[in-house]
């Protein structure tokens, strides 16, 4: 169950006039992670920003359930329109060119995840496919047939509602599991279809997309399988606090490499992430939190 719910792991941020960052996602982002001492990366993220982070991620949620349960609506209601100033966007090269992802699509090869439920709908699965208008008819627990929509449908509706209120949505791809290739080179396994879906939402709605999957994979590959496995005390999905920190750092690096105005709110600790954390070897990588 945890495994299925986790397949939805996008992050959705909105920078508003009150200078607040809202996060929406699942247990890998949420306070308390998946329980049993694990932690979501939305928690340490606040260490790296100069503005408050409101972590509205909830364990077990999918794009559809987050939408159907009214959580997007609540979040959208919290977002204030106003005077957020869109700062100058530097067109200069990212400061750490060698570690920024400058092309997209390099991780699109495999769809190793499938959130489809079995014969009975679980309230979380989305219609399979990359596109706003894709739908599917499924059998609810009470036996009735219900229409469900795609990942893009649920997310893009929220994105557009946030935009309408003057917020600035950002979408990131889900983060990797502790699953590695079995043949050399041993690296984090490729992202699945939800990485692709998240990027498509970014393109379709013209919002910033952070390829969080690949930034985390980059950090994990540098650390190596043994060190990364120590981040996963209960399963291959939920990190401990050290792992959450690495995942948050990877997100910050993604921000710094990109053009979102949220990068203007990365603090000194966040700006130090690429050089002091992700680019050093593993003995000095993991810091106490």
Ligand X SMILES: *[C@@H]1O[C@H](CO)[C@@H](O)[C@H](O)[C@H]1NC(C)=O
92 lies in the site for ligand X, by CB under 6 A: no
Annotated catalytic residue: which of 27, 67, 172, 173?
Answer: 27
97 lies in the site for ligand X, by CB under 6 A: no
Q: Compute the distance between CA of residue 161 and CA of residue 145 in angstroms, rounded to an integer.
A: 28
The only residue of 97, 98, 183, 283 in contact with ligand X, by rule CB under 6 A: 283
Cis amide prior to 62 (ω within 30 degrees): no
Cβ neighbour number for residue 80 with a 10 Å cutoff: 15
Query: Which two three-digit tokens encode residue 10?
Result: 């996008």
142 lies in the site for ligand X, by CB under 6 A: yes
Annotated catalytic residue: which of 56, 99, 238, 260?
Answer: 238
Q: Compute the distance between CA of residue 127 and CA of residue 124 in angstroms, rounded to an integer.
A: 10
Q: Is-catalytic flag, 235?
A: yes
The only residue of 92, 97, 98, 144 in contact with ligand X, by rule CB under 6 A: 144
Smallest gap from residue 141 Cβ to ligand X (A)? 7
The only residue of 50, 133, 160, 275 in contact with ligand X, by rule CB under 6 A: 133
Cβ neighbour number for residue 66 with a 10 Å cutoff: 28
132 lies in the site for ligand X, by CB under 6 A: yes
Q: Compute the distance between CA of residue 217 and CA of residue 16 in angstroms, rounded to an integer.
A: 30
**Dihedral over Cα of 265, 269, 275, 277: its sign:** negative
72 lies in the site for ligand X, by CB under 6 A: no
Binding segment toward ligand X, per CB under 6 A, in 16-24, 137-145, 192-200, 213-221? 137-145
206 lies in the site for ligand X, by CB under 6 A: no
Q: Is 16 in contact with 34 (CB distance < 8 Å)? A: no
Binding segment toward ligand X, per CB under 6 A, in 1-9, 10-18, 192-200, 281-289? 281-289
What is the enclosing helix (H) or strand (E) of 81? none
Q: Compute the distance between CA of residue 177 and CA of residue 212 in angstroms, rounded to an integer.
A: 12
What is the enclosing helix (H) or strand (E) of 12? strand 11-14
User: For ligand X, which is the closer residue by CB, 183 or 281?
Assistant: 281
Smallest gap from residue 283 Cβ to ligand X (A)? 4
Smallest gap from residue 121 Cβ to ligand X (A)? 7
Q: Is 277 in contact with 288 (CB distance < 8 Å)? A: no
179 lies in the site for ligand X, by CB under 6 A: no
Q: Is-catalytic flag, 238?
A: yes
Site for ligand X, rule CB under 6 A: 132-133, 140, 142, 144, 146, 281, 283-284
Residues catalogued as catalytic = 27, 235, 238
């Amino acid at each position: 169950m945890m495994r299925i719910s986790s397949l939805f792991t996008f992050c959705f941020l909105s920078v508003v006039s009150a200078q607040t960052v809202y996060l929406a996602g699942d247990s890998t982002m949420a306070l308390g992670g998946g329980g049993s001492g694990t932690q979501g990366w939305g928690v340490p993220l606040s260490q790296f920003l100069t503005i408050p982070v409101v972590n509205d991620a909830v364990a077990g949620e999918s794009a559809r359930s987050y939408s159907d349960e009214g959580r997007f609506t609540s979040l959208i209601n919290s977002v204030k329109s106003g005077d957020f100033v869109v700062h100058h966007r530097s067109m200069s090269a990212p400061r750490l060119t060698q570690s920024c992802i400058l092309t997209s699509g390099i991780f699109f090869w495999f769809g190793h995840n499938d959130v489809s439920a079995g014969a009975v709908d679980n309230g979380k699965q989305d219609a399979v496919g990359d596109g706003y208008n894709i739908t599917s008819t499924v059998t609810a627990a009470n036996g009735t047939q219900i229409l469900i929509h795609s990942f893009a449908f649920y997310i893009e509706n929220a994105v557009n509602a946030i935009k309408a209120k003057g917020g600035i949505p950002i979408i990131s791809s889900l983060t990797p599991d502790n699953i590695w290739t079995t043949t050399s080179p041993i690296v984090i396994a490729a992202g699945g279809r939800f990485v692709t879906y998240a990027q498509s939402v970014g393109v379709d709605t013209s919002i910033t997309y952070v390829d969080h999957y690949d930034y985390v994979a980059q950090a994990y590959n540098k650390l190596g399988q043994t060190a990364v496995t120590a981040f996963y005390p209960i399963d291959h999905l939920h990190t401990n606090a050290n792992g959450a920190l690495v995942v948050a750092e990877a997100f910050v690096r993604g921000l710094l490499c990109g053009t979102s105005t949220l990068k203007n709110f990365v603090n000194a600790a966040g700006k130090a992430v690429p050089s002091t954390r992700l680019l050093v070897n593993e003995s000095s990588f993991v810091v106490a939190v």
